[in-house]
Structure 1
């Protein structure tokens, strides 16, 4: 009986050691589990960024007004990587960003809001596809309520030397059901100090999404005052986005004419 007992104990420990070896052999498999996507990654995926970036260029019409007054009525065309932008106003003014500098191709006097217009409105349009661009920094934030609906949020800031206004920030609202971009609270530091801009943050709300070649685009933008304490505030303006389509630009589409005037920073 003693021999049988000791044999049983020996088999028990051998069995346990064998199980430990099998467990340790299986453990590395966990390293292949895909990480949970962040808010910006989820938004880019929900907006089908891959399909967007496969296209060469995109164009759209924008009819923008604030406080009941027309602010911008134009056609904006851009490469999907934002390295070239052309803004053609209905009054005949043409602005071009050639990848390095901004130019105005018409008019005797340079439009004081030229740089703001050619960068701001295309950025708002392409925002769902630019959330993980070089220079972006992210901080997850608590969910926030907006008009009775709960939204995931994350704060976007930028490394220095990123774009014209690296001190800007955005608080991104993500729709928890569609995972699309719902809104973005922001400050505008263009031509003013960040401390001054912090006193009047705004928010852009995206509505009426429409699919264009498997990519969703909002047809309505709404602008409101915004505060960290109260969220959505008084409505300030709105924009209608129409005639959205991808296209292949001609070789000289974004070329700058010889008589164009450079728009300085």
Structure 2
């Protein structure tokens, strides 16, 4: 009887599903590539660590000069601290503290550099549409391009357009053209140009450590006009505390200002 009991126990254990294998299988099934992504965009995202890896991340922070930014990548709540003010977004309104500072640009500014920093992953968001464009030469090198546009009511400036230029051999992003329509509320054909050629790996993702604006007019690329450097970069699977994004008592709500010219 004792041997029968032991044998029954062994059979019972052998028949139990392996929890570790179950967890691994569940994790493998958890990610589904967004159906709206184009083939070209997927190649670029894969060259930068993959959208799958990006989708696992919840926490992003960096410093830009005296400015410190922390973002919850899952819900895009954000907090931007500088010596004179703090700007935050808790899911509904953009707020600014103290309530004595000029908050007229805060809504436009609160996630401006986050979008530039989080390229190319940020253009993989829902609501985006992709179109392959003709290759273009920039600074003596030919790049493949993807034009990104947005559906109505996607963000504060749905008429903004981006063109992402990437190396045809490595698929790494090297330039970004973009329009600004936030204040005018009207579509624009005037593009600004940023160079992305300084990348470092953080938690399996290639993210920029510096970006440079270049003069751009009549399809001619001019000299660098400005450079922004990002330091103390952290990107992890740990969520930031939600209390960071709650509007404090001495804060004001930033106005929308779209279409104000």
How far off its partner does 1:134 sit?
A: 1.5
1: distance between equivalents of 2:59 and 2:196? 22
Q: So what's the TM-score if we normalise by structure 1?
A: 0.75
Moved more, 180-189 or 106-115: 106-115
How far off its partner does 1:171 sit?
A: 1.1
Q: RMSD across aligned C-alpha pairs, in angstroms? A: 2.0
Matches within 5 A, 1:110-125: 110-125=102-117
Q: Would you identify which runs of 4 or more consecutive aligned residues in structure 1 move more than 3 Å?
A: none
Structure 2 partner of 1:192? 184
Q: So what's the TM-score if we normalise by structure 2?
A: 0.77
Structure 2 partner of 1:257? 248
1: distance between equivalents of 2:242 and 2:101? 28
The answer on whether the counterparts of 1:101 and 1:262 sit within 8 Å (CA) in structure 2 is: yes
Residue 165 in 1 paired to residue 157 in 2?
yes
2: distance between equivalents of 1:37 and 1:112? 37
Structure 1 partner of 2:168? 176
Structure 1 partner of 2:72? 79
Matches within 5 A, 1:1-265: 38-48=39-49, 49-63=51-65, 73-81=66-74, 83-89=76-82, 91-194=83-186, 197-198=188-189, 200-227=190-217, 229-247=218-236, 248=238, 249-265=240-256
Moved more, 128-137 or 167-176: 128-137
Cα pair distance change 1:161/1:130, threshold 3 Å: same
SS at match of 2:245: coil
2: distance between equivalents of 1:62 and 1:82? 22
How far off its partner does 1:47 sit?
A: 1.7
Q: How many residues align?
A: 217
> Which of these two proteins has the greater Rg computed from alpha carbons?
1
Cα pair distance change 1:251/1:193, threshold 3 Å: closer
How far off its partner does 1:109 sit?
A: 2.4
Q: Which runs of 5+ in 1 are unaligned?
A: 1-35, 64-72
